[in-house]
Amino acid sequence: MKLRKKSQSGFSMLEILITTFLVTMGLLVVMTSFVAIAKSNRYSERMDIATTLAKLELESIRNQSYALIQSETGSYSEYPDHPDYRHETVVNDLGSVKEITLRIYFENDRRRAEMITYVSNM
């Protein structure tokens, strides 16, 4: 009577475990990348809002009389559409020119957008 050898086709348990491990690691890297990209997109969106608010504040300051331009600090409730943003305006009087530094803070003052402009007394 002849004994037949078992068929060697298919995958061994070790090969399946190694493949599962490698696929899992690859998916972990991809998911980590998605999380990082989502955080980066959220930061970019919030910085874009801060920059837009800063432009609007600077435009408002430029429309004021030169004598009325002064330093001020806003609260977190000053922008109804964006309650987690606030501004700070610092004015340095350089004689006939005022240097205006405007900062828009967000994420509880952990992040900010900053713009500087000059206004002259003409």
What are the tens digits of pLDDT across the range 77-110? Answer: 788 888 889 999 999 998 889 999 999 999 888 9
State how far the Cα of 52 lies from the Cα of 112, in Å rounded to an integer: 12
The DSSP result for 26-63, as a single string, is: HHHHHHHHHHHHHHHHHHHHHHHHHHHHHHHHHHHHHT
Say if pTM beats, i.e. exceeds, 0.85: no
Residues 6+ apart with CB under 8 A from 88: 72, 73, 74, 102, 103, 105
Task: Give, for 21, the enclosing helix (H) or strand (E).
Answer: helix 13-62
31-64 confidence digits (pLDDT tens): 999 999 999 999 999 999 999 999 999 999 889 8
The domain ranges of the chain are 14-120
